[in-house]
């Protein structure tokens, strides 16, 4: 019995002795080694991770990004080798391995910093850098190409038309220069004057200190339709003989006759002799009203004749119709009255602007001939007021009649005219005007019955 127990104990002890080192010793060493390796592995990548961003930042500043990544890939195999050696070495070697990689890691980034700079300059050595350099160069090249084609064709497009425009311009200038030389040699002074316009002649006349206008020359031509005679009068008046030289100034006294002849040719009213003017006035005095068209044509003809009469009176400084009769041999007062009758009849159907134009013209005639102004002042004012009312300008027509009524003591005829013109426009207003007239007009006045007719109508 004791023998059996010893065998069992010994077997247990043997088993315990064999299993304890395998279970207890080896795992402890492996745990320590793995812990140390983990610590070493943590420290080494931490420093490398810190170094890498710095390198990457500097590499980005230099516009070289991918080479820094490649350097990191080259460093990793070294780390792996060190890690394998650290596994084989004991704990002391592992600590030494910790210090060694830190120094190498610190030393290598300096080399790595220098390496990208060198590699960036020599971009042809590595294929990765070539790819990057090519992509960067392609981007720059594409940017330049996109801008360059815009600038180059624009410059070419601008340069060509300028050259093309300049070329014909130079040719034309040379041609003009030659033509000027030819004209000065071949064309006479009279031929050059003939090519001038009327406005240019008037401007040159002002340059010669002549105070003349187209209308003033027409007035002289009405009195004396001889162009040469009027030209001599102007030359003598402004003392132009020998004062200007055509070769130096571009004009001389010969321009005056050219100016007068151009005015004569372009005048709306052709200057006439005294006998011609008398014939026109006699025809106007014998005219009888026919129809709207014929009356309109006659009004235009008489308007032109009346303008000639006014110009003569203004040029001769005549303010009395009797003196003007002696000057031109016509009955001016009869002609003015006939003209006003025709105008009053025709302008009822014409435009408002024609009435306005006639008003200014007839007042100019009456202002020049003062004796006729006193005689026909009220009559012409009522004529114009009637025409304004018939054309719808009641305000201006009423204002004219109001002025006439205030300025005259005898009001029966004025009220009758005022009320009768509104009969065809506004009967109520016509009756209102006739009723107002009864405050100043009674049966003693000549036109009292006419006013009563309007009031009862």
Give the separation between CA 230 and CA 235, rounded to whole angstroms.
Answer: 9
Question: How much is the CA Rg of the chain, to the nearest whole Å?
Answer: 60
| Among candidate residues 200, 217, 179, the one with its CA nearest the CA of residue 251 | 200
Largest separation between any pair of C-alpha atoms in the chain = 193
Tokens of 90: 């004991």
Low-confidence ranges of the chain (pLDDT < 70): 1-186, 268-274
Give the separation between CA 383 and CA 359, rounded to whole angstroms.
Answer: 9
The whole-number pLDDT of residue 219 equals 78
Q: What predicted TM-score, i.e. pTM, was given to this entire model?
A: 0.50
When the pLDDT of each residue in the chain is averaged and rounded to a whole number, the result is 71
Distances (CA, A) of 246 to 34, 142, 182, 192: 121, 69, 17, 11
Domain boundaries, the chain: 20-121, 127-185, 191-266, 274-408
CB 233 within 8 A of CB 290: no
Distances (CA, A) of 68 to 57, 144, 391: 10, 28, 98
The whole-number pLDDT of residue 226 equals 83
3-state secondary structure the chain: CHHHHHHHHHHHHHHHHHHHHHHHHHHHHHHHHHHHHHHHHHHHHHHHHHHHHHHHHHHHHCCCCHHHHHHHHHHHHHHHHHHHHHHHCCHHHHHHHHHHHHHHHHHHHHHHHHHHHHHHHCCCCCHHHHHHHHHHHHHHHHHHHHHHHHHHHHHHHHHHHHHHHHHHHHHHHHHHHHHHHHHHHHCCHHHHHHCCCHHHHHHHHHHCCCCCCHHHHHHHHHHCCCHHHHHHHHHHHCCCCCCCCHHHHCCCCHHHHHHHHHHHHHCCCCCCCHHHHHHHHHHHHCCCCCCHHHHHHHHHHHHHHHHHHHHHHHHHCCCCHHHHHHHHCCCHHHHHHHHHHHHHHHCCCCCHHHHHHHHHHHHHHHHHCHHHHHHHHHHHHHHHHHHHHHCCCHHHHHHHHHHHHHHCCCCHHHHHHHHHHCCCCCHHHHHHHHHHHCCCCCCCCCCHHHHHHHHHC
The whole-number pLDDT of residue 224 equals 75
The whole-number pLDDT of residue 366 equals 94
Q: In sequence order, what are the residues at sequence separation of 6 or more whose Cβ sits closer than 8 angstroms to the Cβ of residue 82?
A: 44, 97, 100, 101
Query: Token match 């068209």: residue?
Result: 293
The whole-number pLDDT of residue 171 equals 47
């Amino acid at each position: 019995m004791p023998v059996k127990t010893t065998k069992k104990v010994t077997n247990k002890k043997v088993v315990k002795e064999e299993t304890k080192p395998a279970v207890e010793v080896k795992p402890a060493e492996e745990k320590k080694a793995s812990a140390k390796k983990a610590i070493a592995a943590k420290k080494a990548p931490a420093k490398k991770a810190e170094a890498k961003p710095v390198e990457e930042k500097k590499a980005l500043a230099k516009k070289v990004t991918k080479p820094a990544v490649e350097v990191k890939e080259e460093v990793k195999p070294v780390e792996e080798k060190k890690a394998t050696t650290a596994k084989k070495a004991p704990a002391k070697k592992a600590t030494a391995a910790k210090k060694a990689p830190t120094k190498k890691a610190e030393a290598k980034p300096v080399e790595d910093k220098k390496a990208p700079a060198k590699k960036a300059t020599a971009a042809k050595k590595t294929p990765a850098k070539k790819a990057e350099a090519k992509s960067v160069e392609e981007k720059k090249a594409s940017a330049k190409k996109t801008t360059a084609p815009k600038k180059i064709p624009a410059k070419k497009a601008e340069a060509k038309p300028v050259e093309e425009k300049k070329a014909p311009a130079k040719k034309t200038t040379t041609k003009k220069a030659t033509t000027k030389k030819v004209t000065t040699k071949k064309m006479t002074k009279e031929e050059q004057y003939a090519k001038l316009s009327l406005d240019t002649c008037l401007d040159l006349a002002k340059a010669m200190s002549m105070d003349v206008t187209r209308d003033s020359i027409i007035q002289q031509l009405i009195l004396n339709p001889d162009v040469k005679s009027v030209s001599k009068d102007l030359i003598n008046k402004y003392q132009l003989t020998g004062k200007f030289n055509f070769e130096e100034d571009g004009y001389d006294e010969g321009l005056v006759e050219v100016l007068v002849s151009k005015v004569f040719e372009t005048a709306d009213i052709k200057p006439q002799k005294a006998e011609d003017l008398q014939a026109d006035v006699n025809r106007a005095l014998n005219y009888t009203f026919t129809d709207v068209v014929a009356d309109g044509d006659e009004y235009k003809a008489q308007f032109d004749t009346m303008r000639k009469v006014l110009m003569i009176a203004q040029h001769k400084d005549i303010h009395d119709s009797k003196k003007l009769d002696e000057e031109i041999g016509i009955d001016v007062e009869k002609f003015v009255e006939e003209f006003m009758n025709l105008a009053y009849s025709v302008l009822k159907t014409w435009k408002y602007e024609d009435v306005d134009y006639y008003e200014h013209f007839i007042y100019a005639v009456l202002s020049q001939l003062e004796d006729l102004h006193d005689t026909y002042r009220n009559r012409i004012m009522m004529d114009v007021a009637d025409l304004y009312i018939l054309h719808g300008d009641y305000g201006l027509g009423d204002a004219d009649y109001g002025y006439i009524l205030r300025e005259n003591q005898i009001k029966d005829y004025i009220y009758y005219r005022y009320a009768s013109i509104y009969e065809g426009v506004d009967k109520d207003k016509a009756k209102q005007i006739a009723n107002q007239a009864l405050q100043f007009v009674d049966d003693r006045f000549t036109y009292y019955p006419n006013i009563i007719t309007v009031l009862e109508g």
